[in-house]
């Protein structure tokens, strides 16, 4: 909690580095503070829930992207968010028709999520990262911008980025970005 003598009536809250910051007027009593902190935590949770799409919404989004950019040819059997991908943005197992996106993407711009989802959809058609694969992604107008965004995030967090997987890097679990 941060109290401010300049703040008179308003209370606000936001997330910063995995913590919640609540801004309060300095004159507020401890009882009012407890009440407002509870209210603001609930409000942030509602906002975050609205912003984070469910697996069903993600699957619908995959269908729209496949239709728009891949002629509807990429048809995954499952598309879901996962919390166990901390060094990849997404992965695809073509043999199973499954696509998994890292939960770390949920707070990123929609065009970035669309790019990663389209990247994994393209793997249903072309398993590796050869020329045919990259030709499929040329249809998406924000490919370079999304890749740049992900590279910036990866550099900041010291994570592998999309350029690391251009030469056909694959593992036993499938193909990943």
Query: For the segment 80-107, what is each residue's pLDDT rounded down to a tens digit?
Result: 999 898 889 999 999 999 999 999 998 8
Residue 116: name the closest of 53, 158, 171, 172 by CA: 53
Q: Could you read off the pLDDT of 149-158 as tens digits, one per residue?
A: 999 988 887 7
**121: confidence class by pLDDT, cuts 50, 70, 90:** very high
Give the model confidence (pLDDT) of 162-172 as tens digits: 544 444 444 33
What is the pLDDT, as a whole number, of residue 170?
Answer: 41
Token pair of 69, please? 């950019």
Rounded distance, CA 107 to CA 128, Å? 28
Q: How far is CA 79 from CA 96, 106, 107, in A?
A: 11, 14, 18
Each residue of 111-144: b (16+ CB within 10 Å) or e?
ebbbbbbbbbbbbbbbbebeeebeebbeebebbe
Per the confidence metrics, is the pTM higher than 0.75? no
Instruction: Give me the residues paired with residue 23 across strands.
Output: 2, 12
């Amino acid at each position: 909690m941060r109290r401010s003598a300049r703040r008179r009536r308003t209370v606000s809250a936001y997330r910063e580095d995995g913590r919640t910051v609540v801004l309060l007027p300095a004159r507020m009593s401890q009882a009012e503070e407890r009440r407002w902190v509870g209210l603001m935590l609930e409000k942030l949770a509602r906002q975050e829930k609205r912003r984070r799409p469910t697996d069903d919404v993600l699957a619908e989004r995959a269908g729209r992207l496949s239709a728009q950019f891949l002629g509807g040819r990429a048809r995954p059997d499952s598309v879901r968010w996962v919390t166990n991908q901390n060094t990849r943005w997404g992965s695809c197992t073509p043999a199973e028709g499954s696509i998994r996106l890292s939960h770390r993407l949920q707070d990123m711009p929609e065009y970035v999520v669309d790019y990663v989802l389209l990247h994994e959809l393209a793997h249903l058609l072309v398993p590796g990262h050869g020329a045919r694969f990259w030709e499929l992604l040329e249809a998406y107008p924000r490919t370079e911008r999304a890749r740049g965004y992900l590279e910036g995030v990866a550099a900041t967090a010291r994570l592998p980025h999309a350029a690391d997987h251009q030469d056909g890097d694959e593992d036993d679990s499938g193909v990943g970005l």
